[in-house]
Amino acid sequence: MPPPADIVKVAIEWPGANAQLIEMDQKRPLSSIIREVCDGWSLSGSEQFALRYADGPQLYITEQSRGDIKNGTILRLAISPARAARQLLERIQSHGIDARLEALKELAKLSADPTFAAEFINMEGIGTLARLVESGTHFGEMLAFTLTAFLELMDHGIVSWDLISLSFIKQIAGYVNQPMVDVSILQRSLAILESMVLNSHSLYHRVAQEITVGQLIGHLQVSNQEIQTYAIALINALFLKAPEDRRQEMASTLAQKHLRSIILNHVIRGNRPIKAEMAHQLYVLQVLTFNLLEERMMTKMDPNDQAQRDIIFELRRIAFDGDTDPTGTEKRKAMYTKDYKMLGFTNHLNPAMDFTQTPPGMLALDNMLYLARVHQDTYIRIVLENSSREDKHECPFGRCAIELTRMLCEILQVGELPNEGCNDYHPMFFTHDRAWEEFFCVCIQLLNKTWKEMRATAEDFNKVMQVVREQITRALAMKPSSIDQLKNKLRGLSYSEILRLRQSERMSQDDFQSPPIIELRERIQPEILELIKQQRLNRLCEGSCFRKLGNRRRQEKFWFCRLSLNHKVLHYGDLEESPQGEVPFELLSDKIPVSDIKSVLTGKDCPHMKEKSALKQNKEVLELAFSVLYDPDETLNFVAPNKYEYCIWTDGLCALLGREMGSDLTRSDLDTLISMEMKLRLLDLENITIPEAPPPVPKEPSSYNFTYNYS
């Protein structure tokens, strides 16, 4: 008979004594259990003790967290959080340097525990640490442990960052601005300043006054990628929180300090591979840089603004420089109208009206002017080449440039905030000071080339733009390292190549719409779905490693989950580090019978997504979250490492429950496998027309007296 659900069997350790093996009743108060354990070792004052996990982070166990204790867990009797906080607070203020160092080292470790942190903060512990830093008497390891403890305590969100004093900020900023400082101190100082900027509007202004951009850029020229990462993170935080009127000014300062070229040479083209956190910070910097374009993107052109109209006049002048203006207002107006038509504007009489729609607003005009001034030969060639074509095949430069700018804003998500967890940065945007404009210039030439290859007319405008979008997104997916490499990638993605890729990626709809083919597809589909189901279940049997949600700066925590070979039990358990191979069932201490699983939740319906208020805007994490609900009213929460694992696990769990597998991966696999199977079965019928209806049954013979001569 299985033990009651409220009873867990655990071992409890105490230094110098044999471990106690007890059956912990989860309905009993924790204080009663601790008293019983203390009596077993003849320890008085049970209220001064608490239980902690013996392995992993060694967190304190509270009435709220005791439900996480599983059978076979090893616990340790320890002094209570309040007593530990009091003792450490006294020790860090002692006169003995060695004693103070050991106390700060222990405090740095314990501060990650939310129960201990609450007790330490209630005793004004953060104020004590701040005063130790402000005094300027701590150096080396002692200061590093002090800053680590401070940062861990503040990260719990119990105390507002607004309470931090100006002298503390000055001291931390001083460590960042010093030319020679210990790496661990510099790393923690950068992290503290980043948290200040992100969590307090008032502290942003104070930090911005104390930190020089030039000093932060200097930290990017070191060989330590951790320091580089924290330096870029602080630059991003200052960029993100800066008032809109100061962002352009800050961007100009960063350009003058050659931030882009330093990142390119010391980070992207450095000797070490770029880690995930660095890739994320580069992505954030890329997004924030492109977001500087949002103001121009959302600015409509004022048709009555002479300065803005002069830009359009300059576009005309550069394209048709050799033409002299005729005398007479009417003749000049007629000539301008003709020229604006040749430039490809929709409104020939007043082309300023073409820039009144946002997006792309004035950003499109900025791009066109950059092309005309910097790549003048290319600009003139595109305009004159199209003005000399037949009317029905001319590529309207103005209209194309405006629509292309809107498309590029959508592809690069101009104006949108960075996604947490996204690492999608493009190295080529760090290779040029005017990367956006150069990108546009390459793409407008691509559009003109594709227009010619498609022999398009004005009616085909939207089709051409769709092909160009596909060409650009495919080229960006290859992560070209420079603008020149982008040109080479796009050169290989001609219109004919796009057609070939489309053909290879999906079945031709025309060839597979006849009733016999549709019927064959319907017969094959159940077999393919069963094949996909078996593959998903086999992957669940192999298992996957999942990351526990937590602070980005803290060491990552992992857990592993896999399905038993008979598909009846889910086994899971915590791991110290990400495994390199398959994890044996013996190392996974917890399990859930599949028969107890009631449903699978995804996205914002998951309990752990509702709890994490800070993740509400975290679209990436939300799309990878799913939960298993099982009896009695318990949940096992997952955040998949990537979209592929998310689809594998949600499909596999749905298959276990006898429900439809509805992920994007299943649809993709189904289309691919059915396509392959049908092509194999129809191989012998190549170049043979399959009739829409079965052939007619022949008439009955006049006689059934058939004979066959065997001689």
d(CA 14, CA 11): 10
Asked if residue 321 and residue 261 are part of one domain, the reply reads: no
Q: Is residue 97 part of a domain?
A: no
What is the reported pLDDT for 107?
94
Asked if residue 531 and residue 491 are part of one domain, the reply reads: no
Q: Is residue 105 part of a domain?
A: no
Asked if residue 220 and residue 188 are part of one domain, the reply reads: yes
Which of 2-11, 117-126, 247-256 is predicted most confidently? 117-126
Alpha-helical regions (H) of 9-124:
30-40, 81-91, 97-110, 114-122
Asked if residue 444 and residue 330 are part of one domain, the reply reads: yes
* 135 has a pLDDT exceeding 90: no
Q: CB-based contacts of 237: which residues, under 8 Å, 6+ apart?
A: 193, 194, 197, 198
Tell me whether strands 558-563 and 544-547 are parallel, antiparallel or unpaired. antiparallel
d(CA 626, CA 657): 15
d(CA 303, CA 316): 16
Asked if residue 239 and residue 379 are part of one domain, the reply reads: no
Asked if residue 394 and residue 314 are part of one domain, the reply reads: yes
CATH number of the domain within which 652 lies: 2.30.29.30
What is the reported pLDDT for 512?
57
Asked if residue 439 and residue 350 are part of one domain, the reply reads: yes
CA torsion 507-511-516-518 (nearest 10°) is 30
For the chain, the helix, strand and coil percentages under 3-state DSSP, each to the nearest 5: 60, 10, 30
Two tokens, residue 415? 């104006």
What is the reported pLDDT for 332?
67
Q: CB-based contacts of 174: which residues, under 8 Å, 6+ apart?
A: none
Residue 633, Cβ neighbours under 10 Å: how many?
Answer: 7
Mean pLDDT in residue range 319-339: 70
Domain boundary among the residues 79, 96, 111 is at: 79
* 462 has a pLDDT exceeding 80: yes
Percent of the chain with pLDDT over 90: 55
Q: Please report the sign of the dihedral spanned by the C-alpha atoms of residue 584, residue 61, residue 160, residue 190.
A: negative
Asked if residue 409 and residue 493 are part of one domain, the reply reads: yes
Total number of domains constituting the chain: 4
d(CA 5, CA 24): 11
Asked if residue 334 and residue 481 are part of one domain, the reply reads: yes
Is the separation of the CB atoms in 169 and 209 below 8 Å? no
Label residue 118 by pLDDT band (50, 70, 90).
Answer: very high
Asked if residue 550 and residue 470 are part of one domain, the reply reads: no
Q: How far is CA 33 from CA 46, 80, 361, 370, 587, in A?
A: 10, 14, 69, 75, 27
Q: Is residue 86 part of a domain?
A: no
Q: How far is CA 384 from CA 319, 399, 688, in A?
A: 8, 15, 49
pLDDT for 340-379, tens place per residue?
888 989 898 889 999 999 999 999 999 999 999 999 999 9
* 506 has a pLDDT exceeding 60: no
Mean of per-residue pLDDT scores for the chain: 87
Mean pLDDT in residue range 304-315: 90
Is the separation of the CB atoms in 502 and 493 below 8 Å? no
Q: CB-based contacts of 400: which residues, under 8 Å, 6+ apart?
A: 344, 444, 447, 448, 451
Mean pLDDT in residue range 642-665: 92
* 544 has a pLDDT exceeding 80: yes
d(CA 354, CA 151): 53
Q: Is residue 68 part of a domain?
A: yes
Q: Is residue 596 part of a domain?
A: yes
* 608 has a pLDDT exceeding 70: yes
Two tokens, residue 582? 């398959």
What is the reported pLDDT for 327?
54
Domain containing 426 equals 298-504
pLDDT for 145-194, tens place per residue?
999 999 999 999 899 999 899 999 999 999 998 878 899 999 999 999 99
Q: Is residue 675 part of a domain?
A: no
Would the pTM count as exceeding 0.85?
no
Asked if residue 468 and residue 549 are part of one domain, the reply reads: no
CATH number of the domain within which 31 lies: 3.10.20.90
Asked if residue 583 and residue 463 are part of one domain, the reply reads: no
- Look at residue 209 and give its three-state secondary structure: helix
